[in-house]
Amino acid sequence: MLAGRLNMNTHEFDVMDVPLPEPGPGQVRIKVEAAGVCLSDVHLIDGTLNFGAPEGGIVTLGHEVAGSIDVLGPEVNGWKRGQRVLLKGGERSPDMSKNTQEKVSKAMARGFGQQGDFELHLGQRLGDLE
Write down the pTM of the prediction: 0.73
Other CB atoms within 10 Å distance of the CB of residue 125:
15
Q: What residues have CB less than 8 Å from 41, skipping those under 6 apart?
A: 61, 62, 111
| Residue 130: per-residue pLDDT | 53
Please calculate the CA angle 12-18-19 and round it to the nearest 5 degrees. Answer: 165
Q: How far apart are CA 115 and CA 87, in angstroms?
A: 13
pLDDT band of residue 74 (cuts 50, 70, 90) is very high
Q: All domains of the chain, ordered by start, with CATH?
A: 2-128 (3.90.180.10)
For the stretch 88-118, pLDDT in tens is 766 655 555 555 544 444 555 666 656 777 6
Do 3 and 59 contact (CB within 8 A), yes or no?
Answer: no
Sequence-distant (6+) residues with CB within 8 A of 4 are 13, 14, 15, 60, 61, 62, 118, 119
Question: 62-72 pLDDT, tens per residue?
Answer: 888 888 999 99
pLDDT of residue 105: 46
Which pLDDT value is given to residue 9? Answer: 87
- pLDDT single digits (tens) 8-60: 889 999 999 988 888 888 888 888 888 888 888 898 899 888 776 677 888 88
